[in-house]
Amino acid sequence: MSGVQAPGVYEGAANVIAAGMLLLEFGMLRQALVRDQIRLYMAQSALISVLAIVIAADRNLPDLYALAALSAALKVVAVPLVLRRLLRRVGLDDEEETVGVAGSNTLSPATAVLAGIVLAAFGFFCFGALGIHGPAAPALALALAAAMVLVSFGLMIVRRDVASQAVGFFSLENAISLAALVVASGLPFILETGFLFDLLVAVVVFGMLIRAHHSRAESLSTADLTKLQG
Amino acid sequence: MSAALPIPVIQLLQVLTIAIGAPGVTGVIAKVEARLQGRRGPRVRQPYYDLAKLFRKEALAPAGASWFFLAAPLVAVTSYLTIPLLIPVLTTYGLPLGYMGDILGGGFLLSLASFVIATAALETGSPYAQLGSSRAKTFSAITEPVVLFVVFTVALLTGTDLPYALAATVRSSAGQIIRPAHLLAAAALFMVILLETGRIPVETHTGTNEFGMIEEARSFEHSGPFLALIRWGSELKQLILYTILADVFLAPWGLASTQHLGSVILAIVALLAKACAVGCVVAVIDNSFAKLRLFKITEFAAGAFLLAVLGVFTLYLGGG
């Protein structure tokens, strides 16, 4: 009697990279400090570029090399740089954690991880039931992307500070890029880059949000937003 | 090639390799760890000298302790020496007694050993020993689900839960190695091994501070040959777990596929080299992380659980 068949090296590698991205998402979920979250986000973005290269090499899609380079430049270098500068400007330096950001988790890390597992399971089995089998799509990587979307939503919900929520939103974008890469890796290059630049809009919006919130409330915590002001 | 060894001799050699190699592997880890800290460190043979010294000493038992206190180390070492019969230590082919228990059987023996030692520690009435055994039982209850999910992964991968079958599956193709389920299960198992052998994210292995102790505290009241058996037992447990990780999950190569003396000797050398390699990784981790606070250990276990559960999930959808 034999077990579940091995998927082959290419699919296996794609799946491993997707699983690694999901694990980094969980890392962000349990990580208390924003600067470490940003580091994990960088690693996740680097992984998605690696995945693009793997798909490009296997499917013979030279466009994807350019996309990988662009995505790495944007998500591994530019976005974290902007985020860090923003945080420094609102006084969230490496040394001081004055803004009530450390420990903005509403759940303890172990509970957060268990809740994340439940969310991920929901995403997994929903996509498993859909049974999408594209030509270039390892079905598993797609399900992992769905799980990542849900976990990053969870991250945005359990965090109480704007900066972590921004990181959660950007990693949500990573999850969607993963799904896009897996399902439609043959998409025209110009469309892919168009989607990529949507991220920049999000960065600007979140930057505005962080600065506006900080200037009004002297804090990054969204707990201050629950009070109604007439 | 020289003469073929009879099967029972190979089976005996599996046990002897673990029994004699275990203190050596501990010595190598201690040496590497000391080197990484810039110390010269103890001799690699030091654990053997320690055991020999303890075996020559007088054995004492606390007043009021029953026969169980003295029997526990014997039961523990016996269980540890039974496990090498069940797992692929030297050969790729199953030996006659290799099928008398599956992975769960091996797991039960490990738990039995840890259970009797914990019970013996409870019997002493010494607060630190009781503290240690209570903690050890708590954390082993937390890691139990992780181990179960790793076993599920193995069962889904191979269709059986025999360690020999998984090793053969891993050897069969590169696609079996680069699949998330296998890598996740191996990583989860590695985290469990760190927890079970009392290494740094969980426990300071060489520490003398009783408050941080988990496994180490259980042997406080034992002395002489019985303490030697407990020490030897934890070294055996460490080498057995490393063997499972290396020979079943990560690198089931270098095992003897014939009964020739040469290939069996090669397999012994390969096994000890692999165990030392795992030990070096553990020593590096020992030196690069801080010990977790006691109540943070659940987070460590939750991480391992995450890996194991994801491994099963990925298989469930097929293709993982």
Tell me if B306 and A26 make a contact (CB, 8 A cut-off). Answer: yes
Any domain includes A41: yes
Query: Any bridge partners for residue A161, and if so which?
Result: A221
Any domain includes A17: yes
Q: How confident is the model at residue A87 (pLDDT cuts 50, 70, 90)?
A: confident
Query: Any bridge partners for residue B260, and if so which?
Result: B4
**Selection from A9, A57, A17, A60 nearest residue A174 by Cα:** A17
Nearest neighbour of B159 by CB, restricted to A2, A128, A144: A2
Task: Write the ipTM.
Answer: 0.84
Residue A184: CB atoms within 10 Å:
14
B157 neighbourhood in chain A, CB within 8 Å: 3-4
Looking at residues A39-52, what average pLDDT do you find? Answer: 93
Tell me if A4 and B319 make a contact (CB, 8 A cut-off). Answer: yes
Lowest mean per-residue pLDDT among A7-21, A108-122, B78-92, B179-193: A7-21
Rounded-to-integer distance, Cα A77 and Cα A26, Å: 22
Tell me if B318 and A140 make a contact (CB, 8 A cut-off). Answer: yes
**Tens digit of pLDDT for each residue in A115-128?**
999 999 998 888 87
Cα angle at A151 between A144 and A97, to 5 degrees?
135
Q: How confident is the model at residue A61 (pLDDT cuts 50, 70, 90)?
A: confident
Domain of A46? 10-91+109-218
B167 neighbourhood in chain A, CB within 8 Å: none
Tell me if B299 and A139 make a contact (CB, 8 A cut-off). Answer: no
- Give, rounded to a whole angstrom, the gap between the first and last alpha carbons of chain B: 41
What is the number of structural domains in chain A? 1
**Tens digit of pLDDT for each residue in B222-236?**
999 999 999 999 999
Tell me if B317 and A22 make a contact (CB, 8 A cut-off). Answer: no
Rounded-to-integer distance, Cα A170 and Cα A207, Å: 12
pLDDT of residue A143: 87
Tell me if A3 and B158 make a contact (CB, 8 A cut-off). Answer: yes
Tell me if B317 and A15 make a contact (CB, 8 A cut-off). Answer: no
**Tens digit of pLDDT for each residue in B120-135?**
998 888 888 899 899 8
Any domain includes A223: no
Rounded to two decimals, the pTM is 0.90
Any domain includes A5: no
Residue B317 per-residue DSSP state: T
Give how far B226 is from chain A: nearest CA, Å.
38
Asked if the C-beta of B20 comes within 8 angstroms of chain A's C-beta atoms, the answer is no
B174 neighbourhood in chain A, CB within 8 Å: 9
Residue A218 per-residue DSSP state: S
A19 neighbourhood in chain B, CB within 8 Å: 180, 183-184, 310, 314
Nearest neighbour of B319 by CB, restricted to A9, A121, A139: A139
Average pLDDT, chain B: 88
Looking at residues B162-174, what average pLDDT do you find? Answer: 83
How many residue pairs from chains A and B have C-beta atoms closer than 8 A? Answer: 100
